Structure 1
Amino acid sequence: TVLLAIENALHGGLVITDNSLPDNPVVYCNPGYEKISGYNKEEVLGRNCRFLQGEHTDPAKIELIRDAISEKQDCSVVMRNYRKDGSEFWNGLSVSPVLNTNGETTHFLGLVDDVSERIDAEEALRTSELKLQQTQRLAKIGYLEWDVETMMPLQCSDSLPGLIGISRESILTQPGALYKAVHPDDRNWFAEIDRQMAQGGHEYELEFRIVRPGGEIRHIREIGELAYRKNRAQRCCLSTMQDITEQKQALEQLSESQRRLETLIGNLPGMAYRCRYDERYTMEFVTDGSYLLTGYYPADLIQNHRINFFDLVLPDFKEESRTKLHSSVDKDIPFTLEYQIKTGSGETKWVWEHGVGVRSDTGEVLTLEGYIVDITDRKQAELERQSSVDRFRDFSRIAADWFWEMGPDLRFTYASGQFYRTMGITAADVIGRTRGEVHDGPTYHRNKWTEHIKTLEAGEPFQDFEVLWTRPDGTTRNLCLSGEPLYNKDGSFAGYRGVGRDITAQKRIESQLRAHIELSPDAIVIIDRNGAIRFANAIASQLLGYTHEELIRSNTEKMAPAGTRVRHIELREAYFDSPRTRTLGDDFDLMAVRKDGTEFPLEVSVSPIEDAGETLVLASLRDVSERKSHEAEMRQQLLAYAHDDRLSTAGELASGLAHELNQPLTAISNNCDTGLIIARESPGMDPDLVQILEENYEFSHRAGQIIHSLRQLTQKGQHDKSPTDINSIITETVKLVATEARFAQVEIKLNLQKQLPIILIDAVQIQQVMVNLERNAIESMSRSDVSERVLSIRSTQLDPDTIKITVEDNGPGIRADIADEIFNAYTTSRKEGMGLGLSISRSMISLHGGQLWFERDRESGAVFHFTLAVS
């Protein structure tokens, strides 16, 4: 990040050399350096910066740089260098040492700038000035005397014809010959001077252009003065003419050079300046960049008109900056400073200043000249980088893992501290050596180590490579290594970077776990996604009847009954797509086949485990033959109890059913009689007869449903499970208790979720549970004095695997003294009750893989919930 910030802050090139390596080679260069030098990064790195020097590089400048590097001092020079294509350029080079916390010089930072254009501009300026001086010394001057009255030339010097390009004879004998040589655009000025002199003028000075016979245009300066001849009887004008063409051109070139120089200075980042070498460093010249840098315009800073620049420097930096500046000036070397200033807006900025003392011919320091740039972003990046480095160093120091790097020759170039602590060796044992030289690999898996070395030589990535390391003290460590290859921009191999960790404790735990698994009373197997058995303990071999060798690498399909093997594969693939810890065999019968062909019920608990990036499954197998036999006996007893309870329930419903049957049967009889009378007396079919017949059908259908439900409820024996809509079961049970609810003035409200999944249940058993809960609620509310008695029944899907049914009333609720025993057999709050309803209901729900419970600590009313598994 710091290098990126420097690149963004500078328009030129940046190189960093490593002072700790032989010949101080370049270890970093930015794109600006590549652009200036013409060399790409790969051609620069590892070389000394001398490769830019050439035939015309100033040896004195080279010696100055060499001395500065030797003395670990800042240095700035402008010298002639050569690009890759051989072309010359002027290099504005600044070199600064980089110190570590111990004050040792670890690197040198070089700023490179192509200042050829500036040098050319300065050279052009010097050349123009020289030409101007030569022109002034060597300029040819012509002399002319002419009559003010007649405007005719009287005499001229021998040099004038060559100056004007007209012969002496033409000048003196042809009227207007000289006037005609004047450029048409300048003749008005020429005529005006003639007129002024004729009217009594005494002197004049004029610049004009002449057009020589070949069309060449020359610039002439003429200076004239009134004179008299023949005892003042004749007025004449004495004039000198000078060809100033070269001078004009030189001045124009000088002006252009100055403009280009001002443009270059104006476009410098930050602020260029010249100041006096006094106590306050009074500014004499400042570029326009001062406003962006300081918040003050040049006029504010020059001559301390508004504020002194040195007053902007924060107090903590003044003394140090002054000391470094004076030290460099005394040694007659450039100075480089970094400090903070407070701008006119109150903002604090970091700035970088580079300058040099300007001396007189006697060696006296007259002024300081240099430039100052804003490096706030760079400093912030440096602070962030340092923070990142410190953070990485701290993590590397305290982390259990370690980091390592190799060069293209597969020799170690770096390893963090934990590497050495784990290995029990030092950096001298590692840096500069190959992995094979550091550790030749254990003898017991030589082939594995050889393959690893081949992987490194092929430049391939590797993950979680495990190796046993023997420390110098004889102790061993299990190591796990991972690495990724590195490549240069041109695609060439650059080495490796990776991590490592000590897995000795993990291996020890794995060994202990393996021992525990072997001693487990349950059969334990580990399988992969394809069903191959990777591990099996001794109990697994005993349970399935196979030897350990037969089990390992065999497939689990052959342990499943022939008719279920396809389903077995589907379930295994589905599990690996969404692995989670669960138990199989609770809600459906899971069968296994021993080697001898016998089948037995099995309960399987599965858990996903990760091994070297691969998902495996650890399965615990248990033979549940005895438990299944016991459950079957209990189920038969429960069916008997349930039958008795259903008979009791049917008896209690008998009176309601009788009323429910008598009413529609009586209606049917009456309507039939009425329909017959109407049919006999009326020639056509009366509409009322249709309505009566429809009512008869409705009542008779309802009576049939009631009778059918009663028969199912009282039917003895086990009912097969079948796909059923739970909402239809709820609706049917509501019809069964509707009369009882009406007599108790209870309103039944249904809130059934639509499109619930079809579930596999024993409809008669679930119907019995619903009737029991509904009748309990109705009976409880009939003993309460609430104004509105409401029985609410809701069905919802909790998740893809579960449906929940809720039965809620607003009666007196469940007494606290029986709350803990309400599901126990023979616990009841009714004198006429047997106390078996809720106990049997909970058992029935359990047989369906669900749960039945009630909400505790309610002030009034009772709320029962039960869940059913979605098939």
Structure 2
Amino acid sequence: MTSSGWLRAEISDHEMTRTFAAIAPAAVLVAAVFYIDAFTTIESAIAVLYVVALLLAAPLLTRRGTVVFTVGCGALALVAYVIAHSDDVDVPSLLRLVVALPALTITSMLIQRTDLAHERLISANQALFESETRYRSIFEQSRVALWERDYSLVREFFHSLRSRGISDFRAYAAENPDIVVEAMSLIRTIDANGAARELLGLSPDEALPMSLYPYLSTETESILDMLDCVFCDRDRYEGKFRITSRDGTARDVLLSFPSDPSAFKRIAVGMFDITQRENTQRALRDAQAELATAARAATVGALSASLAHELNQPLGAIVVNAQTLLRWLDKNPPDLEAARHSAERMIRDGQRASDIILNARTILKPDKRILQDVRIDELVEETRAFMDHDLLRENVLLVTDVEKGLPTVNAVRIEIQQVLINLISNGIQALAGKAGGDRVIHIRLGQLVPDALSLTVRDTGEGISPAIMNRLFDPFFTTKPTGMGIGLSICRHLMEGIGGSLTATNHDLGGAVFEMTIPIRATQ
């Protein structure tokens, strides 16, 4: 803007002469109108012609200059009226003046409004130009593969399908496979940046392919997802594709674009090269598969070791009972009744060994385990009989405290017994090295909550060290020189398999306490 503040800012000082030359016709018209209105006897609305002068000058004036020009023309009109009618007041002339002044004011206001709208339009166009410049700069220089694509034709095609009553594009494509190729051929390429050309192996001056469909060596499912997104007018799309470049190199890309109905003629589509990530994930999946195989092998090994551990008890009992049987038979005369009891115990222990093997098979197979009603109080007494030999050998006293009238539980009998035997065996081992003092294992069975029984096994040993408490149930963790570290892990797994739990704490008076929570109705 000039120092006067009347002329537009874009008029420079060296153009001032030409500016005044351009505004001269308006000044001449103003002078002529003033002269005719003040010094002639022409009876007409001459002052209205100031509006024409204002319109001539307006393109060169600022809004402030327009106001000054308008005020000046109004003042000249008043002066001319005073000069021409100083002797008498002419009512028609006064009316013409009254009409001329509002016309001049209204014209000035319209010019101001038009000028303001013009400035806003210029500002908006400038912002649009700057935005387009930034967009083109980002588009061209980005290392992300960017495409400008026209989805308008395929969108119109989908509208025609919907007008025919088709609402499920996937189902329609399943019945008409050719529709996918037809729809993809309607998506046209407008432009692409250098990274996009590089992705397809195109030179900078090579013509862009109209359709990218020939380069998409991917499953039809990904293409169906993208077309279904456009068909359903969703907000945006993102999916994985495999692109095959000109030289045959395959790359995994993540394709995304905004689904904007107002801009379907020119949509920016981004392709992010995720080949390295996908290769890493594939390698990770392969490694996980190998690890799973190794884990299964380790599980089989652990189960084998567990079977050996669990079978050692009934097989040892069978041997002891067989030796007892021979002693009863060697008597003179033979004690057939005692021999019969030994034989019955051998049958019982043999059946237990068979049950252990059968249960191990159900763990390895995906079939559901066979649940049955089990009386835990009877199971405790039966387990005591199984463990009599080990208890006597280590001089350990087993004390039981069983509530009366406990309900039966729905579980796998052999699994509950396996866990109980394991806990009693661990208690015996904990007391084996104890010098002096009580060597007692307490078993308590009760119902602490309505839907589960609580079975605790407590020994009077040294208890569990805080350093190993958190790792006690970890597979292959053991503090025993010859231990496998799988017994407690399998026990917890068996209890959790029926919806129960197995926990360990130390008793206030010393020794370890293991608590089995046995649900009355087991889950599979």
Q: Which protein, 1 or 2, shows the higher relative CO under an 8 Å CA cutoff with sep ≥ 6?
A: 2
Give the structure with the larger strand fraction: 1
TM-score > 0.5, shorter chain as reference: no
Give the structure with the larger helix fraction: 2
Q: Aligning the two structures, in what range does the TM-score lie when normalised by the shorter sequence? A: 0.3 to 0.5
The TM-score, its normalising length taken from structure 2, stands at 0.39
